[in-house]
C-alpha cells in the first residue's frame, strides 16, 4: 500500500464534527464587532520578514525562534508566514495611505504560524480574531476594547476567564525602569538561567515573564514597573482602572504582565483561564503607540488584542455552550424510475418556495428500507415519498417521522403548503 501522507505536526484539521463551535463563535464575534463599529480587513498570510523583526522585536521568542521564514527567488527578500496579525494590519494602513490623521476600528480573523513546541491548545498553525483601534490616544479606546471582550464572554456563556492588566509606561519611563531591572538582575546573575542571561542584554523585561519555577524567587524580588511609571501613563492607567470598576468588569493588576511582543506601550491586558492546562491566555493585547512610526508610517497611536480561536472554542465546549447542529427538516425518499428524475426537480422547486426549510434528498439510491433508515438517522421531522405509483396519481406521500401517524397523500400542486402545514404541526 502507498504510504499515507500525514498532517504537519502542530497544524490541525477542523472537522465537520468540530466546526459547530467555530461557526457559533465566529457568528457572535462578527455581530459584536459590527455593533461596536469595527470593520473587517484581510491582509496576506505572508509578509516581508523585516516587518515582523521591526514590529515584534529582535529579542522576542517569536522572532528569535518561532517564525516560518523562507526565501522567494523572485522577491529576493526573506518572507515569513505571519506569526501575528497586528504588524500586517499596520503595514496595510501605511502602504494603502490610510493614516493621515484618520481613525480606524478594524478586525480580522485568520491563521497565524509559530514554530512552538506543540501542546494542548498550543499549535503551530492557530487562528486569531484580531482587533485594532488606530488613531486613539486616550484610555477610552482601551476601556471600550476591554468592555467589549467582557461582553463577548457573556454572550458566549464562557465564565472561566479572568482579566489581568498592567501598564508598561512609555519607552522613556521603561528605559529608566529597565536600567534598574538590569542592575537588580546583575546582582543575581549567578542564579539566572541561560535564557534569562541572554535576555539580560537584549530584553530584560522578558525575564519577569519567565516560566522557569527556579526563576520565580528572583523575579518576585525585582523592582516593579508600576512603581516607575511616568505621570501621564499613571493617569492613563488610573482612568482605565476606574472605568473598568464603573462598568463592572473585574480585573487584577498584574505588575509582572509584560507580554511577549516588544511593541507595547502603556496598557497591556490578558484574559486568562484555568481550564486549558499550561496554556492560560485566551485573549491578549495592549497599546502600541510607537509601532506605526517604527514601521515608517506617520506617528499614530493604537490599541488592540487578539483572541486565540482554538482556545475560545475549547472553553465553549467545556462550558457546553456549542449549539447542536440543526437536523434536516424533510428527508425525500424516491422509488422508481420516473421518481428518480421527478424527485430532484420537485425538491428544487420546494427549496424555491420554502427557503427556510432544510431538505435532504436521498442520494445514491437504496431500497425503500435503506432510505427510511437514512431518513430516520438524518433527524428530519418529515419524509416525503416520491414514488412512481404516487406520481401516476399526481401526489407525493407525506410521513411524519417523530410521532405516531400514518402516511398521507398530498397533491403535487399543493406540496409546499402541505409541507409547511405538516412541519407546523411538529410533523
Q: State in angstroms the smallest separation of the CB of 311 from ligand HAM.
A: 5
Q: State in angstroms the smallest separation of the CB of 122 from ligand HAM.
A: 4
Toward ligand HAM, which CB reaches closer, 54 or 399?
Answer: 54
Q: State in angstroms the smallest separation of the CB of 283 from ligand HAM.
A: 5
Q: Is 22 left (phi over 0), alpha (psi -120 to 50) or beta?
A: alpha
Q: State in angstroms the smallest separation of the CB of 130 from ligand HAM.
A: 5
DSSP 65-77: H---EEE-TTT-S
Q: State in angstroms the smallest separation of the CB of 145 from ligand HAM.
A: 9
Q: Is the dihedral of CA 179, 184, 187, 193 positive or negative?
A: negative
Q: Which residues bind ligand HAM (CB under 6 A)?
A: 84-86, 114, 116, 121-123, 126, 128, 130, 132, 260-261, 281-286, 288, 304-306, 308, 310-311
Quote the CA–CA distance of 116 and 338 in Å, as a whole number: 59
Euclidean distance between the first and the last CA atom of the chain, given in angstroms as a whole number: 49
Beta-bridge mates of residue 418: none
b (16+ CB within 10 A) / e for 285-294: bbbbbbbbee
Going by their DSSP bridges, the two strands 78-81 and 382-387 should be labelled as unpaired
Return the closest-CA partner of residue 362 out of 388, 336, 344.
Answer: 344
Residue 121 is classified by DSSP as T
Residue whose CB is nearest to ligand HAM in the complex, by number: 308
Toward ligand HAM, which CB reaches closer, 209 or 409?
Answer: 209
Toward ligand HAM, which CB reaches closer, 103 or 325?
Answer: 103
Toward ligand HAM, which CB reaches closer, 86 or 378?
Answer: 86
Toward ligand HAM, which CB reaches closer, 290 or 308?
Answer: 308
Return the closest-CA partner of residue 288 out of 259, 260, 266.
Answer: 266
Q: State in angstroms the smallest separation of the CB of 281 from ligand HAM.
A: 4
Toward ligand HAM, which CB reaches closer, 228 or 311?
Answer: 311
Cβ partners under 8 Å of residue 45, min gap 6? 81, 82, 110, 111, 113
Q: State in angstroms the smallest separation of the CB of 327 from ligand HAM.
A: 32
Toward ligand HAM, which CB reaches closer, 185 or 305?
Answer: 305
Instruction: Give the ranges where 157-278 is alpha helix by DSSP (H).
Output: 171-187, 194-202, 216-220, 231-247
Amino acid at each position: 500500500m502507498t504510504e499515507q501522507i500525514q498532517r504537519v505536526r502542530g497544524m490541525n484539521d477542523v472537522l465537520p464534527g468540530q466546526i459547530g463551535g467555530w461557526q457559533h463563535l465566529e457568528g457572535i464575534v462578527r455581530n459584536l464587532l459590527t455593533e461596536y463599529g469595527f470593520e473587517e480587513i484581510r491582509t496576506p498570510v505572508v509578509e516581508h520578514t523585516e516587518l515582523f523583526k521591526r514590529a515584534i522585536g529582535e529579542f522576542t521568542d517569536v522572532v528569535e525562534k518561532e517564525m516560518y521564514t523562507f526565501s522567494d527567488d523572485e522577491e529576493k527578500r526573506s518572507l515569513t508566514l505571519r506569526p501575528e496579525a497586528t504588524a500586517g494590519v499596520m503595514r496595510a494602513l501605511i502602504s494603502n495611505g490610510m493614516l493621515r490623521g484618520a481613525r480606524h476600528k478594524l478586525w480580522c480573523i485568520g491563521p497565524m504560524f509559530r514554530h512552538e513546541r506543540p501542546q494542548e491548545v498550543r499549535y503551530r498553525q492557530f487562528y486569531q480574531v484580531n482587533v485594532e483601534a488606530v488613531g486613539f490616544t486616550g484610555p477610552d479606546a482601551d476601556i471600550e476594547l476591554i468592555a467589549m471582550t467582557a461582553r463577548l464572554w457573556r454572550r458566549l456563556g464562557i465564565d472561566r476567564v479572568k482579566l489581568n492588566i498592567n501598564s508598561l509606561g512609555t519607552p522613556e519611563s521603561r528605559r529608566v525602569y529597565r536600567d534598574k531591572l538590569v542592575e537588580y538582575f546583575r546582582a543575581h546573575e549567578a542564579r539566572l538561567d541561560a535564557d534569562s542571561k541572554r535576555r539580560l542584554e537584549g530584553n530584560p523585561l522578558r525575564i519577569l515573564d519567565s516560566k522557569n519555577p527556579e526563576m520565580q524567587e528572583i523575579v518576585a524580588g525585582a523592582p516593579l514597573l508600576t512603581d516607575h511609571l511616568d505621570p501621564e501613563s499613571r493617569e492613563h492607567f488610573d482612568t482605565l482602572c476606574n472605568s473598568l470598576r464603573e462598568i463592572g468588569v473585574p480585573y487584577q493588576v498584574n505588575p509582572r504582565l509584560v507580554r511577549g511582543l516588544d511593541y507595547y506601550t502603556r496598557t497591556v491586558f490578558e484574559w486568562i483561564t484555568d481550564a486549558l492546562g499550561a496554556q492560560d491566555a485566551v485573549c491578549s493585547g495592549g497599546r502600541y503607540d510607537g509601532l506605526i512610526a517604527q514601521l515608517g508610517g506617520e506617528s499614530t497611536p493604537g490599541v488592540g488584542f487578539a483572541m486565540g480561536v482554538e482556545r475560545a472554542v475549547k472553553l465553549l465546549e467545556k462550558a457546553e455552550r456549542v449549539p447542536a447542529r440543526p437536523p434536516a427538516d424533510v428527508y425525500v425518499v424516491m422509488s422508481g424510475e420516473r421518481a428518480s428524475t421527478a424527485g430532484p426537480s420537485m425538491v428544487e422547486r420546494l427549496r424555491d418556495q420554502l427557503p427556510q426549510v432544510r431538505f435532504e434528498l436521498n442520494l445514491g439510491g437504496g431500497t425503500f428500507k435503506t432510505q427510511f433508515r437514512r431518513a430516520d438517522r438524518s433527524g428530519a421531522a418529515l419524509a416525503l415519498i416520491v414514488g412512481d405509483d404516487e406520481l401516476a396519481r399526481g401526489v407525493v406521500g407525506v410521513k411524519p417521522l417523530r410521532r405516531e401517524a400514518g402516511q398521507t397523500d398530498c397533491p403535487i400542486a399543493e406540496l409546499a403548503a402541505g409541507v409547511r402545514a405538516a412541519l407546523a404541526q411538529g410533523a
